[in-house]
Amino acid sequence: MIARMDGIRLFGRRLGEESSHPAEETVSTASTKQTIVNKAKQRVRRLWPEITRNNVPYLQQSSGTPIYHALSEFKGW
């Protein structure tokens, strides 16, 4: 925060002078951040069914009903 107030920008472990166009950097940073957020949302939408299916133990266990046993015998067909 102090570096920001002094007009110095941190680049990893190096110090550099603040650019003369901070508004343009803010816009590009905002669009980059929005792009990252949109990609993350798309990834979640794509992976959600598989994650839910694999993380709910109730859906992975057998019900123990006779129909389950009958249908499980057809697995090899």
The DSSP line for 6-31 is TTEEEETTEEEEPPS-HHHHHHHHHH
Number of H helices, E strands in the chain: 4, 2
pLDDT tens column, 21-65: 555 556 678 789 999 999 999 998 888 888 777 776 766 677 667
Q: How far is CA 39 from the centre of its chain?
A: 8
Which residues, listed in sequence order, are joined to residue 9 by a DSSP beta bridge?
16
CA nearest 18: which of 7, 5, 6?
A: 7
pLDDT at position 73, please?
A: 81
Q: 6 or 69, which is more confident? A: 69
Q: Is 16 a residue whose pLDDT tops 70?
A: no
Structure tokens that stand for 54 in this block: 């694999």
Q: Is 8 a residue whose pLDDT tops 70?
A: no
